Every structure is written in C-alpha cells, then in structure tokens.
Amino acid sequence: MSVQVWTWILVGITFSLYFGIAIWARAGSTKEFYVAGGGVSPLANGLATAADWMSAASFISMAGIISFAGYDGSVYLMGWTGGYVLLALLLAPYLRKFGKFTVPDFIGDRYYSNTARTVAVICALIVSFTYVAGQMRGVGIVFSQFLQVDITVGVIIGMAVVLVFAFLGGMKGITYTQVAQYCVLIFAFMVPAIFISIQMTGHVIPQIGMGGSVQDGTYLLDKLDSLHTDLGFKEFTSGSKSTWDVFAITLALMAGTAGLPHVIVRFFTVPNVKDARKSAGLALLFIAILYTTAPAVAVFARTNLIQTVSNTPYTEIPEWFKNWENTGLIAWSDKNGDGKIQYVAGSSIDGKKPTFTEERGASGERLISNPSTAENELYVDRDIMVLANPEIAKLPNWVIALVAAGGLAAALSTAAGLLLVISTSISHDLIKKQIKPDISDKGELLAARISILFAIVIAGLFGIYPPGFVAAVVALAFGLGAASFFPAIILGIFDKRMNKEGAVAGMVVGICLMLFYMIRYKTGLVGVMEARPASEWWFGTSPEGFGTVAMIVNIVISLVVSRLTPAPPENVQEIVENIRIPNNAGEAHSH
C-alpha cells in the first residue's frame, strides 16, 4: 500500500479514537471542563502531562534544530527538560496546595487584586497564542505533506479536529485524549529511530547507536563531523554560541516552562498534593524517552540527508525529495548548471522561504524565484527532518505514515491544552471573577466554549501566517512565560513581603520588554521597522535567550517596588506561610 493510503488508515484510526474519547468524556460541569473533576489517576495524568508538554516543537522541530545546529541545538534539550524538573519540584505542589487551577486565579488571589488578575490574563493569552501558533503550523505541515493538501487547508483541518475534543470535553476530554496521544506519539517517534539505528549501527537502542560505529568502523559522530567539514560546515559536535547565550536560552526555556499555564493546570486534575508529585515524576520519565532519543534521530537524519542528496544528479534523486518539494519545504536551485545538487555552507535563498515559480527547470525541478548568490543550492526547512527521516532511510510505508500520525498527536495534544488555558482565562478569570460574578455554572460553561471557538480561529490564522519555523516560535513563547509569570509565581510562593504593586509592575515591564525585543530582533514590524541583525543584540543575547534578561528585570522591579509600598494584608501573609508547610507538619507560627 502507498504512504498516502497508510496515512489515511492510521490517521483515521487515531482520530476515531480521539473523537470516541471526547464523546465519552463530555464535560457536564465547569469543574469537569476546567480540571477534569479533579479525579484523574497519577499514571493517566503523567501520560497526559507528557503529551501536553511534548508539542509539535518536541516531536517535529527539536531533532530538526539539533540536526542543523548540532551542539548548539542542545540548549533546547537542557532548557525544556530542566524546566520541567523546576516546575515539578518548585511550583506544582505549592500551587496545588493553594488550590487555584489557573495561573491568573493564583495571581489574582495571592496579590489580592483584580488588576494583577487582569495583567496575568493578558500575559496568559499572549504566551498561549504565541505557543499555539507553532502547534497549528506543525499540524499544517504534516497534513500538507501526507494528505497532499495545501498547508493552509492542513491548518483548517487541524482547527476542526481540535475544536471537537476541546469543545465537547474540556479538560476531561483533553486529559483522556492526551493519554491516547502520548501512546501514539511515542510509538511513532521510537519505531523509526530503532529501525534506523539498527540499519546504520546495528544497535537496537538509538541512544547507544548514536555513539556507535557505522559499517566502515568509524564512529557515527566522527563520520558526520567529516561529512560536515568536507561541505564547509562547522563540525556537528562543536558549538558557535557564546557561553552567555547558551546559559540565557537554557534559563529562559527553564523558567518559561515552569511558568507555562497549560502544564500547571494539569496538577489540579489529580485528587491531592501527593498525587501531583507522583504524576510529575511519571511525566518526567515519559518525557525522557523522547528527549534522550531526539539527538540520535537528529544525527541519523542529518547523516542520511547529506549522503543521499549531496552531489547527486537531480534526475537520480529519490521520490521523497520530489514529494517534499511540492510542499515548499525543500528546494533546489541549479546555480552552476551541472544538474547536481551542491549542498555546501551558506544560504541557498534570499529571504526566509523559497518562492516557487510555475515553470520547471531543465532537470524537472521546481524553480525558485529568490535564489541567493551563495554556492549552496539546497534549501531544507528544519521542520521536515523528523517527518522525512523514515523516507530518506527507505523504511516501510506504514512507518512513514505512523510518523505522520505521531506528529499530529503531538501538535493536537498541546494545541488543545493551550486553547483550554485561553478559554478559562476568559470565561473564569475575566467573566466569572470580574465582569459577572453571579454567572451560573451553565453560563460559565457556555462562555468557555464560545471563547475556545474564537481562540481556535485566531490560532489558525497564526498557523497560516506564522512568524518563523515551529520551534523558534515556541522558544519565544517560553521567553514570554519566563519574563511575565515565573517571577510572580515564584515570589508569590517564597516571598511573604511580595505585594500587588510589585507583582503588577514586574509583570508589565517584563512582558513589554520581551515583546519589544522579539519584534525588534526576530520579526520586525512590516512597514515600520525591519528585524535587526544579530550584531546589534543587547549583551550578545539572542531573542530566544532574552527571556532571561527580561525575567531578571522583572524580579528586580518586583522586589524594589514591593519594598517601597505597603506590605500585603496579614491574612495573605498567613496563606503564603501555610502553603509552604507540608500537611500535618505542625502549625505555622505567624511572625
């Protein structure tokens, strides 16, 4: 059977499963809609948290980044994994004990202020929309390639699918759907990795295969280094980022992770604090399976790509290349007219993406209208490395289709969690807590569903007109989370003297600073200013790492302002004292 038939079968089976779960787990109350009724087991919650956590960026983009950036790509591994540990140990148990199931709700009550709550809602919406843009883009890429439709059509299909299970089941539907999605995505990620590891190195475990030898006896990484240097690239295993920037990106990803609203909510779906800790530990184990395999997948994919494509006549190029060419995610421009693909260091195109013309070239390739003057003739979008990897390695068609189903599971599970955060921020934190406190349970549920509908439409537009490739967009969302939420949450738990004035001032300055830097150095405002070059970065900090600087500014402003303004009320200080003391550990003494 062809890849397309297999894809329809596997995607059809997995989607039927998700829809079935959504119908079975329909939410009848706001508690079920927001926190799945609070009765999810630690194992199910661990699986769901892992799926929620591992987005299209983890599944599709992370190995893609590592395969192109080499050693420099490891900051994503360290930052995202370290951040999860930070969240599990430092924040989850305390927030669970505080008993508020949304971040704006915690901030509103801890800082006894609706202004703080509103600022937190705005921050939650900005972070979630930036993050969900990457997910919808991932969905579009998968659908466009495997179902042979335009990326825009792919995004619209993805929007419709997420709408069904988020709209019907809320957190209850999403939780059990995510358990199924974790099983699909981890199976889809590991099967091709194991296949290719055996094929290239003879080792069943990809992590060992990555450090193993290929058939001619050289170590795989040494072989990849020599392939790189022959083509004029820097060695795969050497880094070019400054130590400060590596530190800044890692810390921004860690703090951003710990402040991500859609992951924090997961710890309220279990019955108690003990179960929250258990599910955090289990989720870390489930996440580690994919995260330790991603560098191996990156090495396999990069080696296979270079060996398959470099200096190969276009007329002899494998079928997968031409399939991906049609999606606009890979392109070749025959600059020296020899009919062979020259893949060397340097950018093959001017601007961000290749723009294809209607006619074909002499060898039958799709022509691009914006080739650069560099010698490099090949353009490869990083986001295709994991998806095209099984095809490059000539694996069976069902494995190729399985990866498509896994990519969709990863993107849809996170998109659903984020859309729920957006809807609860609007229905619970804005409408219920501020605009209309006497709204009925049924009315609040309706408001939540309507806001999910609006959120999906906006998220879809972001997916169709995305800023940058999937993981870059996601990394910026983490920077926004680090710059806004993290200090307010951490100081709210560990600093009794922290007051509403300090928290609001810190959050506003932090998120505005991060947004300004992102727009100035990453995206630019069309017609107003162009994105500035790396040579002008402040303190040599990349936009992905600037969340660290904005976070430090936020903490300093929060502490200074809180010390210059009145202390929080006595009852708030007592709450802060109590959430840090384990149950049955004796009474807290008020100072």
The model's pLDDT over 91-101, given as tens digits with 9 standing for 90+, comes to: 777 777 777 66
- Do residue 539 and residue 519 come from a single domain? yes
- Do residue 313 and residue 300 come from a single domain? no
Q: How confident is the model at residue 526 (pLDDT cuts 50, 70, 90)?
A: very low
- 232 assigned to some structural domain: yes
Which H, E and C letters describe 65-93, residue by residue? Answer: HHHHHHHHHHHHHHHHHHHHHHHHHHHHH
- 584 assigned to some structural domain: no
Q: Pick from 520, 494, 500: which is nearest to 581 by CA?
A: 494
- pLDDT higher at 323 or 584: 323
Looking at the predicted structure, is the pLDDT value of residue 468 above 60?
no
Phi, psi angle pair for 367, to nearest 5°: -85, 145
- Do residue 289 and residue 331 come from a single domain? no
Per-residue model confidence (pLDDT) at position 529: 47
Token pair in block for residue 188: 């889809």
- pLDDT higher at 197 or 583: 197
| Distance in angstroms (rounded) separating the CA atoms of residues 270 and 44 | 9
Q: How confident is the model at residue 505 (pLDDT cuts 50, 70, 90)?
A: very high
- Do residue 260 and residue 318 come from a single domain? no
Per-residue model confidence (pLDDT) at position 332: 83
- Do residue 295 and residue 421 come from a single domain? yes
> For residues 330-358, b (16+ Cβ closer than 10 Å) or e, as one string?
bbbbbeeeeebbbbbeeebbeeeebeeee
Token pair in block for residue 397: 């068609």
- Do residue 347 and residue 445 come from a single domain? no
Per-residue model confidence (pLDDT) at position 556: 95
- Do residue 410 and residue 491 come from a single domain? yes
The SS3 assignment for 216 reads: coil
Q: Pick from 480, 405, 478: which is nearest to 7 by CA?
A: 405
Q: Pick from 36, 25, 30, 35: which is nearest to 442 by CA?
A: 30
- 586 assigned to some structural domain: no
What CATH number corresponds to the domain at position 519? 1.20.1730.10
- Do residue 205 and residue 351 come from a single domain? no
Domain count, the chain: 2
Q: How confident is the model at residue 509 (pLDDT cuts 50, 70, 90)?
A: very high
| Distance in angstroms (rounded) separating the CA atoms of residues 144 and 383 | 13
- 588 assigned to some structural domain: no
- 112 assigned to some structural domain: yes
The SS3 assignment for 358 reads: strand
Give me the residues paired with residue 172 across strands. Answer: none
Structural domain of 167:
3-304+392-579
Give the residue-averaged pLDDT of 555-565. 93
- Do residue 317 and residue 398 come from a single domain? no
- pLDDT higher at 285 or 543: 285
Chain-wide mean pLDDT for the chain? 80
Looking at the predicted structure, is the pLDDT value of residue 557 above 90?
yes
Per-residue model confidence (pLDDT) at position 193: 92
- Do residue 273 and residue 319 come from a single domain? no
Whole-number Cα distances in Å, 49 to 52, 103, 171, 281, 543: 5, 17, 12, 10, 27
Give the residue-averaged pLDDT of 201-228. 83
User: For the segment 415-448, what is each residue's pLDDT rounded down to a tens digit?
Assistant: 777 777 778 778 777 777 778 778 887 887 788 8
Burial (0-12, 13-18, 19+ Cβ within 10 Å), 200:
buried
- 387 assigned to some structural domain: no
Q: DSSP secondary-structure letter at 341?
A: -
- Do residue 8 and residue 69 come from a single domain? yes
- Do residue 119 and residue 147 come from a single domain? yes
Per-residue model confidence (pLDDT) at position 560: 94
- pLDDT higher at 351 or 143: 143
Q: Pick from 320, 68, 51, 296: which is nearest to 192 by CA?
A: 296
Token pair in block for residue 224: 């990849």
Residue partners of 87: CB distance under 8 A and separation at least 6: 257, 258, 260, 263, 264, 280
Looking at the predicted structure, is the pLDDT value of residue 490 above 60?
yes
| Distance in angstroms (rounded) separating the CA atoms of residues 554 and 548 | 10
Last residue of one domain, picked from the residues 331, 361, 382: 382
Last residue of one domain, picked from the residues 360, 382, 404: 382
Per-residue model confidence (pLDDT) at position 518: 78
| Distance in angstroms (rounded) separating the CA atoms of residues 76 and 545 | 11
Residue whose entry in the numeric block shows the structure tokens 């300055």: 509
Q: How confident is the model at residue 588 (pLDDT cuts 50, 70, 90)?
A: very low
Looking at the predicted structure, is the pLDDT value of residue 169 above 70?
no
pTM for the full predicted model: 0.80
Last residue of one domain, picked from the residues 322, 349, 382: 382
- 341 assigned to some structural domain: yes
Per-residue model confidence (pLDDT) at position 473: 66
Per-residue model confidence (pLDDT) at position 532: 63
Looking at the predicted structure, is the pLDDT value of residue 267 above 50?
yes
- 587 assigned to some structural domain: no
First to last CA, the chain: 73
Looking at the predicted structure, is the pLDDT value of residue 266 above 60?
yes
